[in-house]
A and B are shown apart, each in its own frame.
Chain A
Amino acid sequence: MQAVTVPACSKDQTHIWADVLAQAVTGELIGALNYTTLAELYEDAAEKAEALEHAQGERGHAASFTEAGRALGIEVVINLEAQYWKRIRSIFLSRAQAGDLIGCILAQEVMLESFAVASYSVVAEAAPGELGATFARIAGEEGEHVAHAIELLQAERARDPGAFDAKVHQMHEEIMTALAEMIARDDPGGHCGLCQGSCVKHSLPDAGISLSEIRGVSLQRYLRTLDEIGVPGESSLVWVAQLPV
């Protein structure tokens, strides 16, 4: 077994990484639940199997983050009831209960995965040693999910562009609004339920993480994904402009 290098980390920084990892692990576990739900919505056996595989992958990511945290002496907090993640899961479940497969794919594979890939990439550059490598590796793996969804969504859009774009807008207003509030400068809904003390967002620069870069990279990746699917640029621009800041 390869030895894990544990870089020096100040107490304050350990506190920051603990909160960052709590977000990442909880997000991955919500992703695992969403993929499990998606598997139930798919009729195609191969798609079902793939969704279950993705769910397993998300659990694996959560385990990797947890292990990387332990190497830094961090016991990662998991809270599936944390307000933003609970809200996202609730939106996802309501679409699943309505049998809205496309809405669920948009939520998980376009919006949440775009956010994960982008935010992990930014964090990977700042995170010390093995933790940084873990974020970078998982960002790469999450990116593969997005690629898979794009083809399916392009075909769906080709059938009825107007209805498809309306659905994207609806999911955007729900999921992207929750994500935008989560990474806004301040928490409009109070404590997120994951940070161990006060909100970690104000301390992120101490660990070399820029929240505005996370916001920017996430939006860029999301807009590019929508462009690839075929959503008109002027529509997605308006949607993004209307997000909470």
Chain B
Amino acid sequence: MPQVDFALIGHPESWNRAAAVISVLRGADRPPVAEQHVREIIPWIPSRTASRVTVGSSQGFQVRGAYIDSFIPPDRLHSRFLRENLARVRAAAACAIKEGARIVTLGGFSSILLEGKADLLPSHAETAFTTGNTLTVALIVKGIERAVALAGRDLGESNVLIVGASGDVGSGCARCLAPRVKRLFLSARNPDRLKGFASELPTLRSPVMADTDLKKLSGMADVVICAASTPAPELVFDALPLSSIVCDAGYPKNVSPDFVPREGAIFYGGLGQASGGIQLDPDLLGVIYPYSVGNVAHGCFLEGVALAMEKRFEPFSQGRGLITPQRVEDIWQIAQKHGIGLPPLFNGAGSVEEGMRCLGRGVPQ
């Protein structure tokens, strides 16, 4: 049996990204494949190890892992494909067990599909599954702290809107930020679940406001965290005040590529950077993360990596509603110990750090 320290279960974020991966696998000497052909083929590919992963710890050693793709087609991230997608995730989990992985991260929609029901996965005494969402929350919160600081603002004076607030990541962010911000607005599709959750949260000055009307809430916020389970980037915030900060932490991305906050800034949240380096073989890192910042990966993946570096092969993040500020701090300390931290803030167009500083100086973007 092969033996790896960790495995990461993922799926293509978009057809565009899937086509880019297939083109890399084909090699430079073959003509690239049209996206239409990729759309025809991807649904048939069984879950499998797609790449070998090596990540360096700042403590001077490396951990080895496998990136396992469940090949959930990007246009089937809907509840009506639940059974089919669960079967794909289970098959990917079986691959991880076959690889001998001690800790397995359920990336992207994989954990959402399971809704914390780890018993739906194949079990193995030597393999622990984590959603990885606690480190994702840590990286989102650290990103917001940094963005607000760069803009010369005080987090305690910020009005923060969380989209997807009843989900595991959104609710984790809410627990961490509720005591620290001026006002917290929560948005989600399920009103009952949202209001029940909102009533549990303390804030500094005013009660948490929960509503399914995103337009109404966004008109009152100056910081937005997007952590919703949307199958495609479709959110726009036309009512958002000038100079707002938007953190898109969705996978797939939540915010429409056509949306630009008026005189504000948008950055990709929930991503971490490993100072010891991340190598993939075949080298898919550049097409999965085609960004100006190197050695980045999603927080959920890096949680599995950090736990493997720490030899804590345990189901650290287990499902909806269990992410507390203390757990976030614990995983952040583990990650920091191994050189995993927050990258400079960026989005698809490059670094946004200077843009954030401009917000503070009142310079239009």
Contacts and interface: CB of A to CB of B under 8 A. Distances in A.
B258 interface: no
Interface of A: 212, 215-217, 219-220, 223-224, 227, 232-234, 236-238, 240-242, 245
23 contacts: A212-B40, A215-B40, A216-B40, A217-B44, A219-B45, A220-B45, A224-B46, A227-B48, A233-B95, A234-B48, A234-B49, A234-B282, A236-B48, A237-B45, A237-B50, A238-B25, A238-B282, A240-B45, A241-B25, A241-B33, A242-B30, A245-B33, A245-B37
Interface string B47-89: 0111110000000000000001000000000000000000000
Nearest to B2: A232
Interface of B: 22, 25-27, 30, 33-34, 37, 40-41, 43-46, 48-52, 68, 95, 282
A212 to B, nearest CB: 4
A237 B30 contact: no
Nearest to A240: B45
A223 B41 CA distance: 12
A184 B33 CA distance: 13
A244 to B, nearest CB: 9
B26 A233 contact: no
Given A224-B46, A232-B49, A234-B51, A241 B40 contact: no
A242 B40 CA distance: 15
A223 B27 contact: no
A241 B48 contact: no
A180 to B, nearest CB: 11
Nearest to B43: A216
Given A215-B44, A216-B43, A223-B45, 16 more contacts: A216-B44, A219-B45, A220-B46, A223-B46, A227-B46, A233-B49, A233-B50, A233-B68, A233-B95, A234-B49, A234-B51, A237-B25, A238-B25, A242-B26, A242-B30, A245-B37
Main secondary structure of the interface of B (DSSP, over half): mixed
Given A212-B40, A233-B50, A234-B51, A242 B45 contact: no
A234 B27 contact: no
A212 B34 CA distance: 14
Contacts of B30: 242
Given A212-B40, A241-B22, A245-B33, A234 B45 contact: no
A22 B33 CA distance: 30
A216 B37 CA distance: 10
B93 to A, nearest CB: 14
Nearest to B39: A212
A185 to B, nearest CB: 9
B79 to A, nearest CB: 23
A219 B42 CA distance: 10
Contacts of B34: 245
A217 B50 CA distance: 20
Nearest to B24: A241
A216 B71 CA distance: 13
Nearest to A220: B44
A234 B27 CA distance: 14
Nearest 4 pairs of A and B residues by beta carbon? A233-B48, A216-B44, A241-B25, A212-B40
A29 to B, nearest CB: 28
Given A234-B50, A234-B282, A242-B30, A219 B25 contact: no
A240 B282 CA distance: 14
A223 B43 contact: no
Contacts of A238: 25, 282
Contacts of A220: 44-46
B360 to A, nearest CB: 46
Contacts of B52: 234
